[in-house]
A and B are shown apart, each in its own frame.
Chain A
Amino acid sequence: MSSSALRIEGVSKSFGRLEVLKGIDLEIGSGEFFSLLGPSGCGKTTLLNILGGLEAPSQGRIVIEGQDVTHLPPERRPTNMVFQSYAIFPHLSVGRNLAYGLRRRRLPKGEVDRRVARMLDLVHLDGMVDRDPAELSGGQRQRVALARALILEPKVLLLDESLAALDRRLREAMQVELRQLQRTVGITFVFVTHDQDEAMAMSDRIAVMGEGRVLQVADPARLYHEPNCRAVAEFIGSINLFPIHRVEDIADGLLLEGGPLGAFRLPRRAGELPGRDGLMLAVRPEAIEIVSEKPDDGLNALPGRIVESVFLGDRSFLRVAVPEWAHPVVAACPPGRLSELREAQNVWLTWKPESGRLLTSR
C-alpha cells in the first residue's frame, strides 16, 4: 500500500427516505485487494456502483489517484466493473466482447487482436476467441467478464459478488486464481462479497459493513482476532458471546461480572474499557478448552452438558448447554478427543483470560 489509489470521502446515499449509505470514509491503497464485506442490504453494492459511476452519491466525494471523479459518467472513469451477472454481450463473440471497450482507443486492428489474445491467455481462455458466449460455462463467462474489464487497464477494478454464481469447488479455485491475477496485473481490486471466507481468502484488507456504515477496516487476521464490535465478531467466523453486567478494575486486569454465569477475567488492554451498556465478552470456539474437572480458581469456567457433536473432517466442534444461559456454547474439539466426549456428558469449559474480548453490542 504505497499510495492511495482511491479515496471515499463522506459518501452518503439515499433512495427517497431510505438511507442506504451513511457517511462512508475509506482509503484504499494502490495495488491493494480490498473487500467490502457485509450481509445483503448493507449498502456494499450501492457503494461499488457509486465508485463505478453507475449511481451518484447523495453526498460526498470519490477521488481516484488525486482526481475527483464524483461527477464523471461511467464511460469517463478510470474504473471498470465485473458485474454479478457477468453482463456478457450475447450477440458478440468472446473476442469481440473483449475488444468492446478498445474501440474508442482507435488502435490498429492488429494491436487489438494482440491485446485480446494476450488477455485471453492471462485468464486461461486461449483459443476461445471466436466462441459464442452461449457456449461457455459459468466459470468461463466469469473469465470473459474479468478479461473484458482488465483489457482496458483500469486504475481500479470493481468486482460485484463475482464468484457468487459459481459452485463451491469452482469458486474456491477462482479465489486463488483471482488473487494471483491481481498480483500479476497489479491493479487495485475492490471486491464486494457477502461471503466472509471468500473475503478472508483473497483480501489484503476488508471493510466490514452493516446497515450503511463501515464497522471496521482491517486485515483478515486482525478482523478475526480483534473485532471491534459484536456485529463484526458475529459476521467473521463463529463466536460465543456472554453478557456482562459490570466491569471491575482489579490489580492484575479486569473482573467481569457475568450475572448467573459467574465472573470472568480479562487482561487490561489499551483502549479497551468501553462504556458500560450492552457489553459482551466474546470467546472464539477454538479458544475454549474442554476439561472434566472444575478449574482451581473457578474463574473463566462454565459447567455444561454436551448436547451435540459435529464432525467436519478437518475439524469438529461441540455444542454445550450451560445452565442459566439460553444459547449453547460452541467449543472446538481436537478430532482425536471426539471419541471420548459423548452427548449428555457433563464437562467444564474454560479459556485463557487473554483470549477473550470485551465488545459493545453495536
Chain B
Amino acid sequence: MNGGRLSRRRPLWLTVYAVLFVGFLYLPVLLLPLFSLNDSTIVAFPLQGFTLRWYGELGGSPQLITALWNSLTVGAVVSVLATVLGTLGAWAVTRYRLPGKPLAVGFIMLPIVAPLIVLAVAVFMLLVATGIELSLLTVGFGHLIVCLPFAFSVMTSRLESFDASLVRASRDLGEGRVQTLLRVVLPISLPGIVSSLLLTFTISFDEFVLSFFLTASDATLPVYVWSQLRFPERLPVVLALGSLILLGSCLLVGVGEWFRRRRQA
C-alpha cells in the first residue's frame, strides 16, 4: 500500500518490543508440551530425555476419562443452550424497540464484569438454601450464567448487520415465517452461531471457579487437574493432558476461523 511506503521505517525498538511481548505471552505455554515429553517427574532444566510415557499414562486413568467426559458433556449442552438463549435475546434487542432495553442488556452482560468468585458463592448459597443437590446439572447452570453474555454479544454483533428488508423480501417473494427463518435468517446467522458455539464451549470447558463450587463428586477436567496438582509425581501427566488440550483448542479455533473466513469470502 502507498501509505506504508510513504511512512518512515518502523523503529527497531518497536520490533524488539513486539517480539518480547509475544514471547512473554506464549513461551510459558510452550514449556507445557516441552516438559510433557521430558523423562523425569521433576519439572526443571536440564531436560532428562525424550519419552511418551506420560501420554501413555493418560489412558490408564479412569478418573481422568470421566472428568474429560463430564467437561465435554457440560460444554456441549451449555454451549447449545447459551447460543439458543443468546440468539433469542440478540434477536429481540436488535429487532424490536423494547422498554428498558439498556437495563435488560446490562443485566445480561453483568456476569462478564462480576467477579466469578462472588457469583459462585451466591449460586452455591442459593442451591444449598433451596436444597438442590450439587451435580453436573448445577455446574451447567453456573456455566450458562457466564456463557450467556458471550453468546449474546456475538449474536448481537452478527444480527446488527442483518438487513431487516431481507425478511420482508422473503415474505414478499412468497415464503411464510417459518420458511423465511430457515432459508434466510438461519443461513445468514450461521457464522455467528458457529462462533458462539465454539466460544461458549471453550469458556465452559476450562471454567474452574464455578465448577469447583457447584460440583459434588463429578469433577470436570479443570477440577480434576487441580486435584492432581497435590501429587507431585502426577505433574508430568497433567502436563501431557494440558498439551493435548492446547492442541485441541488450537484445532478448534483454527476450524472456527476457517469457517468464518470461508463464509465471508
Contact = CB atoms under 8 A, between A and B. Distances in A.
Contacts of B168: 54, 74, 81, 83, 87
A101 interface: yes
A357 interface: no
A152 interface: yes
Interface size class of A (residues with CB under 8 A): 20 to 34
B175 A104 contact: yes
Nearest to A83: B165
Contacts of B171: 53-54, 73-75
A4 interface: no
Interface in B156-197: 163, 165-166, 168-176, 183-184, 187-188
Contacts of B163: 85, 87
B172 A75 contact: yes
Contacts of B187: 91
Contact of B174 (A54, A84, A85, A152): A152
Interface of B: 163, 165-166, 168-176, 183-184, 187-188
Nearest to A160: B165
Interface string A56-76: 000000000000000001111
28 contacts: A53-B171, A54-B172, A73-B171, A73-B176, A75-B171, A75-B172, A75-B175, A75-B176, A80-B172, A80-B173, A81-B168, A83-B168, A83-B169, A87-B163, A87-B165, A87-B166, A89-B166, A89-B184, A90-B188, A91-B187, A91-B188, A100-B170, A100-B173, A103-B175, A104-B174, A104-B175, A148-B173, A149-B173
Contacts of B188: 89-91
Determine chain A's interface SS by DSSP, over half rule.
mixed
Interface string A134-173: 0000000000000011001000000000000000000000
Interface in A207-233: none
B174 A52 contact: no
A264 B108 CA distance: 72
Interface in A40-62: 52-54
B169 A81 contact: yes
Nearest to B168: A54
Given A85-B163, A87-B163, A74 B172 contact: yes
Contacts of A104: 174-175
A89 B186 CA distance: 12
Contacts of A81: 168-169, 172
Interface string A89-115: 111000000001101100000000000
Contacts of B170: 89, 100
A245 to B, nearest CB: 50
A90 B168 CA distance: 14
A80 B163 CA distance: 18
B169 A87 contact: yes
Nearest to B173: A101
A217 B166 CA distance: 32
A74 B180 CA distance: 12
A103 B176 CA distance: 12
B158 to A, nearest CB: 13
A90 B263 CA distance: 10
Given A74-B171, A87-B169, A89-B188, 17 more contacts: A54-B172, A75-B171, A75-B172, A75-B175, A80-B172, A80-B173, A81-B169, A87-B165, A87-B166, A87-B168, A89-B166, A89-B170, A91-B187, A100-B183, A101-B175, A148-B173, A152-B174
Top-6 shortest CB links A-B: A101-B173, A87-B169, A87-B165, A74-B171, A75-B174, A91-B187
Contact of A152 (B165, B166, B173, B176): B173
